[in-house]
A and B are shown apart, each in its own frame.
Chain A
């Protein structure tokens, strides 16, 4: 009798833990996204020899935008204008939840690459819909550019994933060639074709995030803010949150597909990510309370870096920093230059990568 009760109690507490875990996870992703967008702004500032914004700046921005007036242009298509940011936000949230489900919770959920590719198009699609519904000439120019850009980078991105599928075809089980969880166990980037595909995919992600060489649709200096021109208040906050979430989801996806995923071995993986977030909060807390001793700063930073390396989060940070450095060292391209870059140069490199990967698979040469 006692044993049964004990078993039931354990199951109950397990369930409770599970529920708690899922309650924590969405704010966790949001916190990580906002911290990532702070890192982008801070590192950009450091590159330009400035001090840069405080840690909570992205959170302040979103809070402020929530409290502002929402203006809807007179000629706008209201329904599409109002729903587009929510569609984009929902798509990115779904994508990041899926990736977390595979990396952190590791359930039997089969998320394959195809679903992820579809979900990754959703933000750009929502942006195109929203800006074309806003009845602004600047936004319509931005929309046209965004459409061309999407057509430009989607093909190289899919080709890069084809390279990964060929590279990992021999090592994963039958029927799992497209499963993200299976591919995340392999490291295709440690080969010539895999590295080519990784670099091309990195640039595609740069374009997806709208970072500088490919910020043609937003083009702050010539189009105002292009696609986001007419958005204000809470709707703009939704776009900003979507962008913050993409800063988490897209590099996570690259890490899983190319760099072998996150391997948390020592603590149970369910504990690991909340611990990192807790370390971040400690770091943030010392900043917020103005209890700024150099020692505490360095200590929390060291703990954070240690945890990053431990959990394989270092790979994520590496990709983020690569994206930021590309962002800060390049001028904006014209849309025709971007199209040419993606279709001609990335296209040729990726076709070569596919041929190399096929040869490597056929003759069993792993480094090719």
Chain B
């Protein structure tokens, strides 16, 4: 394992992208930073710019308006990076499948930009913080 990947695992900075979520997943994402879960123990930190990020936390179905920005944000993220799809909507559009405002599953949209993107799925409506932490651990140990 290279030093690069090893240090990446030790310090994952995440950027939160909302592409049309109902705000439930977003609250659970922020919940991970609270004293009860405190992911800063593992070096996970929420940052304000995709250029600083190592992981994108994507929530929501991917509406026509939002996917343009999602593609842009993915291109602006410094590689290597991981994409986490948080919640049932992001994983496979959920109950909004076939809706007039849905541009398609988020993973397909990201694969359009970069076919080799590393994508992880954390289903749930909304997923519990424990589920998200477990997802992060699984992805990092698979890298």
Contact = CB atoms under 8 A, between A and B. Distances in A.
Given A60-B43, A71-B78, A229 B38 contact: no
Chain B interface size band reads: 20 to 34
B43 A231 contact: no
Contact of B41 (A48, A49, A51, A233): A51
Interface string B1-43: 0011001101100000000000000000000000100101101
A233 B78 CA distance: 7
B52 A63 contact: no
Which among B40, B43, B54 has the greatest number of chain A C-beta atoms within 10 A? Answer: B40
A51 B37 CA distance: 9
A51 B48 contact: no
B47 interface: yes
Q: Which of B51, B79, B80 has the most CB of A within 10 A?
A: B51
A34 interface: no
B5 to A, nearest CB: 8
A247 to B, nearest CB: 18
Contacts of A225: 47-49, 52
A78 interface: no
A71 B40 contact: no
A225 B79 CA distance: 19
Given A45-B38, A67-B4, A71-B76, A224 B43 contact: no
A112 B17 CA distance: 50
B51 A71 contact: yes
Interface residues of A, number: 33
A246 to B, nearest CB: 19
Contact of B49 (A56, A70, A228, A233): A228
Contact of A54 (B8, B43, B52): B43
A236 B13 CA distance: 13
Interface of A is mostly: loop
A138 to B, nearest CB: 8
Interface in A181-233: 220-221, 223-225, 228-233
Contacts of A70: 78
A9 interface: no
A101 interface: no
A228 B4 CA distance: 22
Nearest to A45: B40
A51 B39 CA distance: 9
B49 to A, nearest CB: 5
A64 interface: yes
Nearest to A219: B48
Contact of B11 (A61, A221, A230): A61
Nearest to A70: B78
B41 A52 contact: yes
A70 to B, nearest CB: 8
Nearest to A67: B4
Interface of B: 3-4, 7-8, 10-11, 35, 38, 40-41, 43, 47-49, 51-52, 54, 76, 78-80
**Closest 5 A/B residue pairs (Cβ):** A67-B4, A224-B48, A63-B7, A60-B10, A232-B51
